[in-house]
């Protein structure tokens, strides 16, 4: 039976708003921030001013934690400004001509040609739906997707019970089938998390327990000597290692190009160099979008706009989350040491990042990092010298004989982190036709096959797409 689109959420009630105000008042006072809590589209909203961007991020996290304790929901809207600018800067502008031309109608319009938009579009299009992908940039995966580690994480790290935990573990399994379908390289090298000091060592068991609770297969803790017997170049200071053998690696831009090719082969349209600037709503449902290359009618709009996804939701009047850009710098190294690396090695994660490390790429290079730096701009991707130095220092602590002279490039991209630090995936309540694939920070690459499967399942249940059942179960399904 067809399900109904979720109804508009009720406003956050008065007692809850009061409880949220009380919960964040001490932090706001400490930071000298002038803030007010209200409700927007059923989510708590923080408005006001703060001195520094880090204050805004910390207040947003505190509000999310308090909201989770009250409601089991994590996402909040944060519109707090700083003297250097607003927390909601303008949407991106298109770069270059629109190639090819935008059609005037499509059944599903996917906004954003990064890995998440393209894999979702591929899933919907091979099931027999008319799909168009629209991308601001001049190439596929030209934003966050262009500069990341490409790790198909095992799922040892996300908090149990989150969307991240569910989709990461499931997506990891589904990647084998997807890589075959895309005909791209997937390297299942495995990864280890190492403790480099006594404090980190106390948390190794915690991550083993998390891995087991998330259902990650094959994890175990080895002593420093045992892991060095497998990888002799590892530092003698490593105390213990959590081994997660199911970790793999892909080249995300290669994935995007292959997906765009298959979408075209399935009859879909993929359009570069055009931006969605408005969402057309009639009789309370999505009917199309305005773009820099004209209007397009659609029945379903998938919001896969990366670090701009909350702005797109705002254009549609259904913003229930905010993104705070978190820059990640990577240093790429060609190290042709006689003993090749066996697997990826990272430190014990910190609260909001897996902590970087040394990652193998399918193309034979190594990625060192990434860093994790909160910044107000969604578009600033210039690494600092300090970030690069600290990434190299951390890498030497893991592999003391790493050849720093073999650095071939340094760059950064911005993660689309929400204050709930979870993915925002699902139909936007109250606006039939608007579906979010948003806040896809890491492990977005690892999780996307499972997320795309959820999009297809939801839209099918809502009666908004059709699917050849045989193909549906065959394509990237876990079982
Ligand atoms: C340094 C770093 C390392 C990472 N490492 C890993 C890893 O090892 N494993 C992992 O799983 N994840 C990793 N991640 C996270 C991963 O990169 C993301 O989850 C993933 O790339 C998100 O893809 P996306 O398609 O959602 O976003 P994007 O790649 O940013 O794509 C969104 C696209 O939408 C377009 N767009 C925005 N607004 C509009 C509009 N209005 N109209 C048209 N187009 C628009 C943008 O131009 C952009 O191309 C890492 C991230 C970083 C920064």
Please list the pLDDT of the chain residue by residue as tens digits (479 residues).
899 999 999 999 999 999 999 999 999 999 999 999 999 999 999 999 999 999 999 999 999 999 999 999 999 999 999 998 754 444 456 567 788 889 999 999 999 999 999 999 999 999 999 999 999 999 999 999 999 999 999 999 999 999 999 999 999 999 999 999 999 999 999 999 999 999 999 999 999 999 999 999 999 999 999 999 999 999 999 999 999 999 999 999 999 999 999 999 999 999 999 999 999 999 999 999 999 999 999 999 999 999 999 999 999 999 999 999 999 999 999 876 656 778 899 999 877 777 789 998 878 889 999 999 999 999 899 899 999 999 999 999 999 988 877 899 999 999 999 999 999 999 999 999 999 999 999 999 999 999 999 999 999 999 999 987 666 555 555 44
Q: What is the structure's pLDDT at 242? A: 97
Question: Could you tell me the two tokens for 105?
Answer: 């109608």
Distance from Cα 108 to the centre of ligand 1, integer Å: 20
In which residue are the tokens 């053998």 written? 245
> What is the structure's pLDDT at 353?
72
The pLDDT of residue 276: 97
Q: What is the pLDDT of residue 90?
A: 47
For ligand 1, mutation pick of 163, 252, 305, 443 (most atoms within 8 Å of CB): 305
How far is the centre of ligand 1, averaged over its atoms, from the C-alpha of 383 (Å)?
A: 17
CATH 3.20.20 is right for the domain spanning 14-81: no
In angstroms, the CA 309 to CA 438 distance is 6
Is residue 139 within 8 Å of residue 331, measured between CB atoms?
no
What is residue 1's predicted lDDT score, i.e. its pLDDT?
80
pLDDT at 479: 40
Which residues does ligand 1 sit against, CB inside 6 Å? 91-92, 111-117, 134-137, 141-145, 147-151, 153, 275-276, 304-308, 312, 328, 330, 370, 413, 415, 440-446
| Cα-to-centroid distance, 124 and ligand 1 (Å) | 19
**Burial level of 471, CB count in 10 A (0-12/13-18/19+)?**
exposed
Task: For the chain, give every domain's residue range.
Answer: 14-81, 108-145+252-323+421-474, 167-246+324-414
Q: Residue 88: its pLDDT value, please?
A: 43
Answer for the pair 33, 87: CB distance below 8 angstroms, yes or no: no
Ligand 1 centroid, distance to 144 Cα (angstroms):
3
The answer to whether 249 and 396 are in contact (CB under 8 A) is no
> What's the whole-model pTM score?
0.96
Distance from first CA to last CA of the chain, Å, rounded? 23
Q: Say how far apart CA 132 and CA 10 lie, in whole Å.
A: 33
Give residue 307 CA to ligand 1 midpoint distance, Å. 7
Alpha-helix runs per DSSP H in 189-243: 198-201, 204-214, 224-230
On the CB side of 291, CA atoms within 13 Å amount to 32
Q: What pairs with residue 40 in β-bridges?
A: 43
Hunting for tokens 């927390």 — which residue is that? 87
Using CB atoms within 10 A of its CB, is residue 203 exposed (0-12), middle (13-18) or buried (19+)?
middle
Supply 142's token pair: 């030209």
- What token pair was written down for 20? 């949220």
- Name the pairing type of β-strands 191-195 and 344-347: parallel
SS3 content of the chain, % helix, strand, coil (to 5): 35, 25, 40
Q: Which atom of ligand 1 is nearest to the CA of 359?
A: 8
Q: Which residues contact 172 (CB under 8 A, 6 or more apart)?
A: 152, 153, 154, 155, 246, 247, 248, 446
- For residue 300, what is the enclosing H or E element? strand 300-303
The total of other beta-carbon atoms located within 10 Å of residue 101's CB is 12
d(Cα 98, Cα 101) in Å, to the nearest integer? 6
Residue 407, Ramachandran bin (φ over 0: left; ψ between -120 and 50: alpha; else beta): beta
Give me the CATH code for the 167-246+324-414 domain, please.
Answer: 3.30.9.10
Q: Domain 108-145+252-323+421-474 is in which class?
A: alpha beta
Torsion sign over Cα 22, 23, 26, 28 = negative
């Amino acid at each position: 039976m067809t399900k109904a689109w979720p109804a508009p959420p009720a406003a956050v009630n008065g007692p809850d708003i009061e409880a949220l105000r009380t919960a964040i008042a001490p932090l706001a006072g400490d930071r000298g921030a002038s803030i007010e809590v209200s409700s927007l589209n059923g989510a708590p909203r923080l408005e006001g001013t703060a001195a520094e961007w880090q204050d805004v991020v910390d207040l947003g996290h505190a509000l999310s934690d308090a909201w989770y304790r009250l409601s089991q929901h994590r996402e909040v809207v944060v519109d707090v400004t700083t003297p250097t600018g607003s927390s909601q800067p303008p949407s991106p502008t298109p770069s270059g001509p629109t190639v090819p031309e935008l059609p005037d109608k499509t059944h599903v319009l996917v906004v954003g040609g990064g890995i998440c938009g393209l894999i979702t579009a591929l899933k919907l299009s091979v099931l027999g739906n008319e799909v168009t992908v629209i991308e601001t940039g001049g190439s596929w995966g030209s934003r966050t997707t262009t500069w990341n580690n490409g790790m198909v994480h095992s799922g040892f790290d996300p908090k149990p019970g989150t969307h991240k935990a569910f989709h990461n573990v499931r997506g990891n399994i589904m990647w084998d089938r997807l890589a075959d379908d895309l005909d791209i390289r997937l390297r299942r090298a495995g990864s280890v998390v190492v403790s480099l000091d006594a404090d980190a060592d106390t948390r190794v068991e915690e991550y083993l327990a998390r891995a087991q609770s998330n259902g990650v297969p094959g994890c175990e803790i080895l002593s420093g000597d045992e892991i060095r017997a497998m990888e002799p170049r590892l530092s003698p200071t490593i105390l213990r290692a959590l081994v997660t053998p199911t970790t793999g690696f892909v080249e995300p831009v290669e994935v995007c190009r292959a997906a765009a090719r298959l979408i075209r082969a399935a009859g879909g349209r993929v359009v570069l160099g055009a931006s969605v600037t408005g969402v057309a709503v009639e009789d309370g449902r999505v009917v199309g979008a305005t773009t820099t290359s004209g209007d397009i009618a659609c029945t379903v709009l998938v919001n896969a706009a990366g670090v701009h996804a909350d702005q797109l939701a705002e254009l549609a009047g259904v913003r229930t989350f905010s993104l705070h850009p978190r820059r990640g710098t990577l240093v790429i190294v060609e190290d042709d040491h006689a003993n090749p690396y066996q697997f990826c090695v990272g430190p014990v994660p910190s609260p909001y990042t897996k902590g970087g490390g040394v990652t193998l790429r399918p193309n034979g290079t190594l990625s060192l990092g990434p860093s994790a730096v909160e910044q107000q701009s969604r578009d600033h991707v210039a690494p600092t010298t300090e970030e690069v130095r600290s990434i190299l220092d951390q890498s030497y602590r893991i592999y003391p004989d790493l050849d720093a002279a073999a650095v071939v490039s340094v760059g950064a991209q911005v993660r689309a982190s929400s204050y709930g630090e979870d993915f925002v995936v699902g139909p936007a309540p109250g606006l039939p036709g608007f579906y979010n694939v948003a806040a896809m920070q890491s492990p977005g690459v690892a999780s996307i096959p499972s997320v795309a499967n959820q999009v297809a399942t939801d839209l099918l249940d809502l009666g908004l797409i059709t699917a050849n059942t045989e193909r549906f179960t065959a394509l990237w399904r876990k079982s």
